[in-house]
Amino acid sequence: MGFREEYEQIVEGLKQAIGAENVVDYKIPRERRIFVTVKKEAVVQAVKYLAEEQDFWHCSTITGLEAKDCFEVIYHLARDHAISLSLRVCLDKEKPEVPTITDIIPGATLYEREVHDLVGIKFIGHPNLKRLILPDNWPDHIHPLRKEWTIERIREELRKAEVIP
């Protein structure tokens, strides 16, 4: 069996586990890489399936970013350091929230805290979303990786909040 057939089986298993309607899109661009987009309501079930049934236990990082019409969270999962699967979910810009995966993959805790700090995505059920990257006195409404924030605007807000002189 070639890699493409093996990877297609992983995606088909995921579709069966979470419902095909919850897999929005997937791509297998080359060996060792799989990209899957799932609906927000299925992300925890998808991570659970991938970890428990497909051995994607290693979360190398979590990316949070602001796309054109949504916020994205991308979970970068690996199996035996041989296959990397990026699991993507789009979140509403007005309420960027997604359930935590820390009860499935405890190592995701710091990545979720980082994304919360810098992008402002709330991980519902996270055991401790306290600051990780930004200083403790950083204003809660400023998420520096959001497109609305420029360096100049951040400086202005930090001066108003008396964080910097």
Residues 93 and 162 in one domain: no
- From 64, 72, 42, 62, select the one nearest 105 (Cα to Cα): 62
41 & 117 share domain: yes
- Residue 67 pLDDT grade (very low, low, confident, very high; cuts 50, 70, 90): very high
**Is a pLDDT exceeding 80 seen at residue 1?**
no
**Same domain, yes or no: 61 and 32:** yes
Task: State whether 65 and 121 are in the same domain.
Answer: yes
Does 40 lie in the same domain as 85?
yes
Tokens (6 digits) for 158: 């930090």
Is residue 24 within 8 Å of 48, Cβ to Cβ? Answer: no
Q: What is the pLDDT of residues 74-94, one digit of tens each?
A: 999 999 989 999 999 999 999
- In this prediction, residue 164 carries a pLDDT of 84
**Per-residue model confidence (pLDDT) at position 122:** 98
Residues 87 and 146 in one domain: no
pLDDT interval class at 162 (50, 70, 90): confident
Distances (CA, A) of 88 to 45, 55, 113: 13, 18, 18
- Specify whether 37 is located in the same domain as 96: yes
Q: Are residues 80 and 154 in the same domain?
A: no
pLDDT of residue 7: 96
**Quick one: pLDDT at residue 130?**
93
Structural domain containing residue 154: 134-165
- The confidence band for 19, taking pLDDT boundaries of 50, 70 and 90, is very high
What average pLDDT does the structure give for the chain?
A: 96
Which own/partner contact pairs does 145-150 have at CB distance under 8 Å and 24+ positions apart? Answer: 145/64, 145/65, 145/66, 145/118, 145/119, 146/66, 146/119, 146/120, 147/66
- pTM value is 0.94
105 and 139 together in one domain: no
The yes-or-no verdict on residue 163 having pLDDT over 90 is no
For residue 144, give the nearest of 162, 120, 122, 160 by alpha carbon: 120
41 and 81 inside one domain: yes
Residues 66 and 90 grouped into a single domain = yes
Q: What is the pLDDT of residues 79-137, one digit of tens each?
A: 998 999 999 999 999 999 999 999 999 999 999 999 999 999 999 999 999 999 999 99
CATH number of the domain encompassing residue 49: 3.30.460.80
Location of structure tokens 């997937």: 26
**In a shared domain, residues 48 and 100:** yes
- pLDDT at position 97 is 98
Looking at the 3D structure of the chain, how many domains does it have?
2
